């Protein structure tokens, strides 16, 4: 995809101008290396009815009242605050989980809601390819954007106002990131990008973890374990060996099984979707009865709406990573 193809979206693509927390914006503007961000909200409600590839724009509150950046929508999920911090860290727009918790609590008090705690759920809008600019370089808010708007307003890129906004934001993004950086992006292998849509966002590790967790309904695909902090998104074909950050290359596993899977002591039969446990576990570690009992266990498929693991990735793991007897 070339520099001007797809960002901002053309045709039927959408842009959503979102009212943005000033502290979140200031923190992330000072850290331009964080390209994947969590545009969180204190409530578990979605920001809007967005599709992957839609563009979310960051509008500061009055008196600055300018559009100062944006990102490409990847996925929305309701996550415990502690897990959101574990996955995204500073990409939540905060220096620490305590800072994040304090800010969410303050916003909830202002809105008359319960205060936040580490186990409380927050709405997480995962954005890729985020960029930020100084307010002085920002884009004017559309004339029909009411000052009383609380969350934001959507625009279609095939309307006059939407096209004007899209063109202005494209110029803003190009200036913020530099032409050379965008050319480098366009030359990267297609496998590093998300599904081919109006714009193919770069899917990062954080988005991958959340997508895979939601695809498997936050249960280990082998054991059914539901304790979220010990569940991990495993790459079937390692990222270092050409695997992508995508549900077609991911499976949710309990942390110990994830480790064994990465090391090749367990694999998944691509034909019958059952777990295989290598006899080398017992031979090399003089134990392993717990894992031997899982040999032949069925591996869950993802929930409807999520792409299943690709057979070629399963075959790659079984043939290239698995330590057969």
What digits encode the pLDDT tens for the residues 55-71?
999 999 989 999 999 99
Domain boundary among 141, 170, 192: 192
Q: How many CB atoms lie within 10 A of CB 161?
A: 15
Per the CB < 8 A criterion, the answer to whether 129 and 54 are in contact is no
Within this chain, do residues 151 and 174 fall inside the same structural domain, yes or no? yes
Within this chain, do residues 151 and 64 fall inside the same structural domain, yes or no? yes
CA–CA gap between residue 108 and residue 31 (Å, rounded): 26
Residue span of the structural domain in which 211 resides = 205-321
Instruction: State what percent of residues in the chain have pLDDT above 70.
Output: 86
CA–CA gap between residue 9 and residue 26 (Å, rounded): 26
Domain boundary among 192, 217, 238: 192
Is 197 inside a domain boundary?
no
Is 2 inside a domain boundary?
no
CA–CA gap between residue 209 and residue 79 (Å, rounded): 12
| β strands within 83-206, DSSP E | 121-132, 139-140, 152-156
pLDDT at residue 113 in the model: 59
Please report how the helices 81-88 and 97-110 are oriented relative to each other, as an axis angle in degrees rounded to 10.
130
Sequence-distant (≥ 6) Cβ neighbours of residue 309 within 8 angstroms: 236, 247, 248, 249, 250, 251, 268, 302
Mean pLDDT in the chain? 87
Within this chain, do residues 180 and 291 fall inside the same structural domain, yes or no? no
Within this chain, do residues 316 and 231 fall inside the same structural domain, yes or no? yes
Within this chain, do residues 296 and 212 fall inside the same structural domain, yes or no? yes
Is 158 inside a domain boundary?
yes
- Model confidence band, residue 182 (pLDDT cutoffs 50, 70, 90): very low
Closest CA to 202 of 309, 71, 307: 71
CATH of the domain at 160: 2.30.130.30
Q: Is 106 exposed, middle or buried (0-12, 13-18, 19+ CB in 10 A)?
A: middle
pLDDT at residue 120 in the model: 85
Within this chain, do residues 211 and 180 fall inside the same structural domain, yes or no? no
Within this chain, do residues 183 and 42 fall inside the same structural domain, yes or no? yes
Instruction: List pLDDT tens digits, range 281-297.
Output: 999 998 889 999 999 99
Number of domains in the chain: 2
Instruction: State what percent of residues in the chain have pLDDT above 90.
Output: 72
Instruction: Examine the pLDDT at 37 and tell me if it is beyond 90.
Output: yes
pTM of the model: 0.86
- Model confidence band, residue 125 (pLDDT cutoffs 50, 70, 90): very high
H/E stretch holding 78 reads strand 66-80
Within this chain, do residues 119 and 229 fall inside the same structural domain, yes or no? no
Q: Which residues pair with 250 in a beta bridge?
A: 235
Instruction: Examine the pLDDT at 159 and tell me if it is beyond 90.
Output: no
Instruction: Examine the pLDDT at 4 and tell me if it is beyond 70.
Output: no
Within this chain, do residues 20 and 160 fall inside the same structural domain, yes or no? yes
């Amino acid at each position: 995809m070339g520099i001007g193809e797809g960002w901002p979206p053309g045709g039927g693509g959408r842009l959503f101008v979102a009212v943005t927390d000033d502290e979140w914006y200031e923190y992330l503007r000072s850290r331009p290396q964080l390209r994947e961000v969590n545009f969180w909200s204190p409530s578990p409600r979605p920001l809007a009815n967005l599709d992957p590839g839609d563009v979310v724009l960051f509008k500061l509150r009055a008196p600055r009242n300018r559009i100062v950046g944006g990102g490409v929508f990847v996925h929305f999920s309701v996550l415990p605050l502690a897990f959101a911090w574990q996955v995204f860290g500073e990409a939540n727009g905060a220096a620490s989980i305590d800072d994040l918790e304090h800010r969410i609590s303050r916003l909830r008090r202002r809105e008359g809601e319960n205060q936040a705690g580490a186990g409380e759920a927050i709405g997480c809008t995962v954005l890729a390819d985020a960029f930020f600019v100084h307010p002085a370089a920002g884009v004017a808010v559309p004339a029909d954007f009411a000052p009383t708007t609380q969350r934001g307003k959507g625009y279609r890129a095939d309307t006059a106002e939407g096209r004007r906004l899209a063109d202005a934001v494209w110029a803003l993004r190009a200036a913020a990131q530099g032409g050379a950086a965008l050319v480098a992006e366009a030359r990267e292998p297609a496998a590093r990008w998300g599904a081919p849509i109006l714009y193919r966002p770069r899917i990062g590790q954080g988005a991958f973890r959340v997508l895979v967790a939601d695809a498997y309904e936050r249960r280990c695909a082998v054991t059914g374990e539901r304790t979220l902090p010990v569940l991990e998104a495993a790459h079937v074909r390692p990222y270092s060996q050409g695997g992508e950050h995508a549900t077609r290359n991911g499976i949710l596993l309990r942390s110990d099984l994830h480790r064994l899977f990465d090391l090749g002591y367990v694999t998944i039969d691509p034909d019958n979707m059952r777990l295989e446990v290598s006899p080398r576990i017992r031979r090399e570690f003089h134990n392993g009865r717990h894992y031997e009992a899982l040999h032949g266990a069925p591996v869950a498929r993802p929930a409807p709406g999520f792409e299943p693991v690709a057979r070629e990735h399963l075959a790659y793991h079984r043939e290239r990573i698995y330590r057969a007897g």
